Amino acid sequence: MNQPKPPRSVLDLLTMKKEGRKIVVLTAYDALFARLLVDGGADLLLVGDSVNQVLAGAASTLSATLDQMIYHGTAVCRGSGETLVFVDLPFMTYQVSIPEALRNAGRVMQETGAHGVKLEGGSHIAPTIKALVEIGIPVMGHIGLTPQSVHALGGYRVQGRDPRAAERLLEDARAVEAAGACAIVLELVPAPLSGRISAALTIPTIGIGAGAGCDGQVLVTPDMLGLNEGFNPKFLKKYANMGEEVRQAARAFAADVRGGVYPDQEHSFD
């Protein structure tokens, strides 16, 4: 039986939704993990501004910079082969004005080799999405819990629980689609609402903490691998325990070095 071909353009994402094929998305921040995740079957790699937390140790995504995202985006594109790569536009690189958003997104596309950018927001950010799409930059939207607005939202909380908030999210999703986005991330949204939004849109939805009704799913790779041991939200399934494996490997290396066992003759040159 022939395996379906992975997406090679943003148009393929629409085809996958029509065919009912789930879209597999993982975050990547370097060429090494990009190659591993592609080999593992990822359909799309997202260079998330989550890098500012999981690798740089910041408390939130808010201090991520454009240069930081371009650096990591370039590295991921070097290891991703033909797999689709989208790069987050960090906080305050697209909110000030549409011309500034065009300039910054253009830098990302020109300097990284990515296939598109992702930005957060609903109806209020739709004109910016439209302007980016009109100059040929594919855009992935992001609604629900938007980490760049975490303080205004009152923390990391599920969004759209009451009927009025649910209707606003549906309106936001439709506005993002109408502006020309090729996909939209739904983060921390009740599963029934995510299913309703997914059914209402022609573009695919990518869920994180948004239930099984989305057209695809994304997880932050260090979280999925069990490297970020202190992060245990309800939606996260850890597919490995690499934090402990790394710790054990480091202990074994330290013991060998201190005991004079490594390097031995096998690992030395004559």
- Catalytic residue numbers, as ranges: 187
- 3-class SS of residue 136: coil
Spatial separation of the C-alpha atoms in residues 28 and 43, rounded to whole Å: 12
User: Is the peptide bond prior to 6 cis by the omega test (within 30 degrees of 0)?
Assistant: no
Spatial separation of the C-alpha atoms in residues 10 and 116, rounded to whole Å: 9
Helices marked H in 113-186: 126-134, 163-178
Helix (H), strand (E) counts: the chain: 10, 8
Spatial separation of the C-alpha atoms in residues 171 and 122, rounded to whole Å: 8
Contact by Cβ (8 Å): 196, 185: no
